[in-house]
């Protein structure tokens, strides 16, 4: 990992997009192509064997290839030239069968797809860690009451379990979108000079299908040299994921402020310290995710701009993609890994959450008080009484419920037990727990019914089941 990239990637992601890894992916394409063509009798089997024996990354100098690409306009041309020369040393007659029927973009795009395939596995692992940890946190703190905050101000009570479930819900939705995008993106690129595979005659599709099987990739309906929609969907999906992780990181970093102190990132040697202030414990994991959330939207925009590609081969758009894609994927990988580490070791201070609730002096129950009084006195009168109590509570720094209870109209309208109950945040959580369970997808069937309506997926499944039963009945 280079120093300049140290806050924008992980060790695994950096290794994946290293020179050696890229060369390995390009060589994998050439070997698989040779095997596929040899299997179909298009090139000699001896040539395929020679190509395979030359396919070792250490045989090639990445710096030389990179320098030459500035003149060729693609990394593929100097790469294929170097591969051909290496094969010539092994079997001169085999050198003429290198890259047979393919074009430069075929090897470059397929190599990129192979790298993305590995990136998917890395992301899947860390997303699994993150989701497991968030689920555990949500269950553990399902009943831990805290302040909700709107416009950064104290609002009404909620639970930390619901807050965490909200983060989890977003991550799970993002994960599903990314999986769909990867499924669409992990496809072979093989179209030859102009996207028709004309040099292979009527065997083009057979070669492409065999090549796709050997690389464990899907085979598309047609080459996609200048159709970058699949890649764009993946980049956008990764951008949304990073945004969700940035939201989670922002919440946690705000909750970590000393004057709030409701949660804390894990403590470890060398993690989150300050070079000047030994007392500090900085939200380093959140900081890395937030840094990614600042950078990735611009990168996604850059990729979308590069989609406007000319005819069957782009001049500039395609050539701009590799560094953009590499950066987006690595930033996403860092954000996921960072927040997984944060979630796995997050310390939750329930006492601080309760203290911050109490610090509002009960004003967070003003909404509930208005609702209760409105039932007895009407909305206008109730609002007037609550506003008066809030003003006194604020100026005299007294508990809002005590002030409210001392107002004669209130004590007449509300029973003492009701006023006492008004002090309890646990009694003003509405359907927070049901929402939490919904987000964790742990709803029982009875809890899925809302106002007599069934969620779309459940309704669809029951409709199919009913339809199947009806058909069986008709048959009998």
* Largest distance between two CA atoms of the chain: 104
Phi and psi at 427, nearest 5°, equal -95, 10
Chain center to CA of 97: 42
Question: Is the Cβ–Cβ distance between 243 and 293 less than 8 Å?
Answer: yes
Written as six digits, the tokens of 70 are 């500035």
Phi and psi at 157, nearest 5°, equal -65, 150
What is the three-class DSSP state of 150? strand
C-alpha distances in Å from residue 450, one per residue of 176, 255, 427, 443: 25, 33, 21, 12
Given the residues 313, 354, 388, 423, the one annotated as active site: 313
Alpha-carbon torsion angle 237, 241, 244, 249, nearest 10: -150
Burial of 4 (0-12, 13-18, 19+ CB in 10 A): exposed
Written as six digits, the tokens of 78 are 């100097």
Question: Is the Cβ–Cβ distance between 286 and 337 less than 8 Å?
Answer: no
CA pair distance 234, 171, nearest whole angstrom: 15
Phi and psi at 40, nearest 5°, equal -100, 5
Active site residue 443: no
Residues 6+ apart with CB under 8 A from 351: none
Sign for the CA dihedral angle at 169, 171, 174, 180 comes to negative
Given the residues 6, 199, 274, 411, the one annotated as active site: 274
Among candidate residues 146, 139, 155, 172, the one with its CA nearest the CA of residue 433: 139
Active site residue 437: no
Question: Is the Cβ–Cβ distance between 349 and 357 less than 8 Å?
Answer: no
Q: What is the DSSP string of 56-95?
A: -GGGS-HHHHHHHHHHHSSSHHHHHHHHHHHHHHH-GGGG
Residues 6+ apart with CB under 8 A from 425: 145, 157, 357, 364, 365
Question: Is the Cβ–Cβ distance between 398 and 363 less than 8 Å?
Answer: no
Question: Is the Cβ–Cβ distance between 373 and 166 less than 8 Å?
Answer: no
- Catalytically annotated residues: 274, 313
């Amino acid at each position: 990992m280079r120093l300049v990239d140290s806050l924008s990637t992980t060790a695994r992601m950096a290794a994946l997009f290293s020179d050696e890894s890229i060369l390995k992916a390009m060589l994998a394409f050439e070997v698989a192509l040779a095997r596929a063509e040899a299997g179909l009798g298009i090139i000699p089997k001896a040539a395929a064997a020679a190509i395979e024996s030359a396919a070792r990354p250490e045989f090639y100098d990445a710096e030389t290839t990179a320098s030459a690409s500035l003149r060729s306009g693609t990394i593929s041309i100097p790469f294929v030239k170097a591969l051909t020369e290496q094969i010539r040393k092994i079997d001169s007659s085999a050198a003429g069968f290198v890259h047979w029927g393919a074009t430069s973009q075929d090897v470059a795009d397929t190599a990129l797809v192979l790298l993305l395939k590995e990136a998917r596995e890395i992301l899947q692992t860390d997303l699994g860690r993150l989701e497991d940890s968030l689920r555990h946190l949500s269950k553990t703190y399902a009943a831990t009451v805290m302040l909700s905050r709107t416009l950064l101000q104290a609002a009404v009570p909620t639970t930390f379990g619901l807050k965490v479930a909200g983060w989890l819900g977003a991550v799970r939705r993002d994960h599903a979108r990314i999986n769909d995008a990867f499924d669409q993106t992990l496809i072979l690129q093989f179209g030859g000079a102009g996207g028709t595979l004309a040099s292979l005659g009527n065997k083009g599709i057979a070669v492409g299908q065999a090549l796709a099987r050997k690389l464990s990739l899907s085979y598309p309906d047609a080459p996609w040299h200048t159709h970058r929609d699949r890649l764009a969907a993946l980049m956008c999906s990764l951008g949304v994921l990073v945004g969700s992780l940035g939201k989670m990181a922002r919440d946690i970093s705000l909750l970590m402020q000393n004057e709030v102190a409701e949660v804390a990132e894990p403590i470890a040697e060398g993690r989150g310290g300050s070079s000047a202030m030994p007392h500090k414990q900085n939200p380093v994991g959140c900081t890395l995710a937030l840094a990614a959330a600042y950078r990735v939207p611009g990168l996604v925009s850059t990729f979308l701009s590069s989609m406007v590609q000319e005819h069957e081969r782009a001049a500039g758009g395609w050539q701009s993609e590799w560094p953009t894609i590499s950066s987006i994927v690595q930033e996403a990988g860092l954000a996921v890994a960072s927040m997984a580490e944060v979630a796995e070791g997050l310390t939750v201070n329930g006492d601080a959450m309760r203290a911050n609730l109490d610090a509002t002096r009960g004003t967070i129950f003003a909404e509930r008080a208005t609702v209760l009084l409105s039932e007895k006195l009407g909305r206008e009168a109730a609002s007037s009484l609550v506003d008066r109590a809030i003003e006194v509570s604020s100026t005299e720094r007294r508990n809002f419920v005590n002030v409210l209870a001392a107002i004669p109209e209130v004590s007449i309208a509300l029973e003492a037990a009701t006023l006492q109950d008004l002090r309890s945040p646990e009694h003003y959580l509405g359907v927070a727990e049901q929402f939490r369970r919904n987000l964790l997808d742990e709803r029982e069937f009875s809890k899925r019914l809302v106002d007599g309506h069934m969620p779309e997926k459940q309704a669809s499944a029951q409709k199919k089941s009913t339809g199947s039963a009806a058909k069986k009945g008709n048959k009998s």
